Amino acid sequence: MRILQVTNFFKPSWEAGGPAKITYELSKKLLERGHEVTVYTTDGFKRRLNVEKNRPVDVDGIRTYYFRNLSKSLVTKISTLPYYAPLIARKEITDFDIIHINELNMLGFLVHRYAKKYKIPYVLQGHGSLFFKISGRVTFSSEGNIVITKKRLLGRMWNVLFERPTLYNASKIIALTEKEAEECKKINVDENRIVIIPNGINLNLYENLPKRGEFRSKYSIKDNERLILYLGRIHKIKGINLLIKAFASLLKELKDVRLVIVGPDDGFMPTLMKHVRESNIDNRILFTGPLYEKEKLTAYVDADVYVLPSIYETFPNTILEAWACGTPVIVTNRCGIADFVDKVGYVVKYNEDQLRGAISKIISDEELRKRIGAESKKLVRKEFSLDKVIGKIEALYETILAK
């Protein structure tokens, strides 16, 4: 098949979050399986990539266009504005058998227009964002709950003109979980157009893990210190402030404990640092910034527990990564794959005491950590291998083309 992948951000814009990495891994695997793959993306998130722009370049064998954004400052405020994309899409769109659009954005809308005009089928994968993009403006209450309010005029216009047409003209909508499928139904997506396909990870990358102790050595963390890890974007929706509160409480009963926060700032760092200072625990928390590739693996391997205390989460790949490294996981019940985590880890309410209790239990019991770690490795290999996921996506493409 000749496949076009459309994503706002792509390698090496890992700071943009999961969809960039997921689209890269998907494209690589499809290429390995003999398909022709092209990627349309933009020139970066919060930073301009030092890449050739508006022309095809080779990215690990993947034919890729990095379209220059009209304005770097508008990328984080509105969407992306890849002004050159229509010129290429208009010329190339009929070269593709099928198109896979990742998330609702301007680039996806531009591609959808030509796909619709020339009757090229496309699937849309929202990566957990569709319900909130369509239903309203998202804010957060002081209790850590999501509040959806009516969008402002500009937001409503953007929604009607660009987002809804891309959503409702898709041949199929890929939902990551049953929860996301239900959310799609709430925004009037016909359930016959919804297909549930989870994320997966390339398990080959976890065959030869770093030796335990590399991360601790680099950051001067003692062997006897129990290490709690958060890894992800520094954003309010991730619930890191709840983790800070739970950790401060935990330090009253356990002394040799360190919290490590890994990830790029997505606008919440000033608020988070205020929480840290108010809790007077600056000397027990390490902020490393974003880590990638092997450095990220060293953090997982050396952690005694990985905690993702999100206010809302559809399908975080960091959970799969932690499992593949044999690291126990704790999530809140707002996580879309909490049912799977509950089999091999701990699921808590969005509550300081429950989170503190779960962390304390895991880091205080070495045998429990080893057992959970071993069970986690088995689960991720059984349910979430990338090869298994790719097979489902290929079958979906073929079904659409057969019709």
Q: pLDDT tens across 196-244, in order?
A: 999 999 999 999 999 999 999 999 999 999 999 999 999 999 999 999 9
Question: How far apart are alpha carbons 393 and 389 in whole angstroms?
Answer: 6
Nearest to 216 by CA among 205, 226, 231: 226
Q: Does domain 2-200+385-402 have CATH number 3.10.20.30?
A: no
Helix (H, G, I), strand (E, B) or coil at 391: helix
Digit-coded pLDDT (tens) for 338-395: 999 999 999 999 999 999 999 999 999 999 999 999 999 999 999 999 999 999 999 9
Digit-coded pLDDT (tens) for 329-339: 999 999 999 99
Confidence at 77, pLDDT banded by 50, 70, 90: very low
**pLDDT at residue number 152:** 79
Question: How far apart are alpha carbons 59 and 51 in whole angstroms?
Answer: 10
Looking at the chain, the domain(s) classified CATH 3.40.50.2000 span 2-200+385-402, 204-383
Question: How far apart are alpha carbons 261 and 284 in whole angstroms?
Answer: 11
Amino acid occupying residue 116? K
Question: How far apart are alpha carbons 227 and 222 in whole angstroms?
Answer: 10
Confidence at 78, pLDDT banded by 50, 70, 90: very low
Spatial contact of 241 and 272, defined as CB atoms under 8 Å apart: yes
Please report, to the nearest 10 degrees, the dihedral formed by the alpha carbons of residues 272, 275, 276, 281 taken in order.
Answer: -160
**pLDDT at residue number 156:** 79
The strand pair at 56-59 and 62-67 is best described as antiparallel
Report the mean per-residue pLDDT for the chain. Answer: 92
Question: How far apart are alpha carbons 174 and 84 in whole angstroms?
Answer: 28
Bridge partners of 227, per DSSP, are 258
pLDDT at 75 over 70: no
Cα 128 to Cα 178, 183, 186, 291, 388, distances in angstroms: 11, 9, 13, 23, 21
**pLDDT at residue number 162:** 85
HSE-up (13 A, CA, CB side) for residue 59: 24
Query: For 204-383, which CATH class?
Result: alpha beta
Average pLDDT over residues 241-259: 94
Which of 15-24, 101-110, 295-304 has the weakest average pLDDT?
15-24
Please report, to the nearest 10 degrees, the dihedral formed by the alpha carbons of residues 58, 167, 196, 199 taken in order.
Answer: 30
Residue linked to tokens 């919440």: 268
Contacts of 111 (CB under 8 A, 6+ apart): 4, 6, 40, 85, 89, 93, 99, 101, 122
Which H/E stretch holds residue 244?
helix 240-250
**pLDDT at residue number 372:** 96
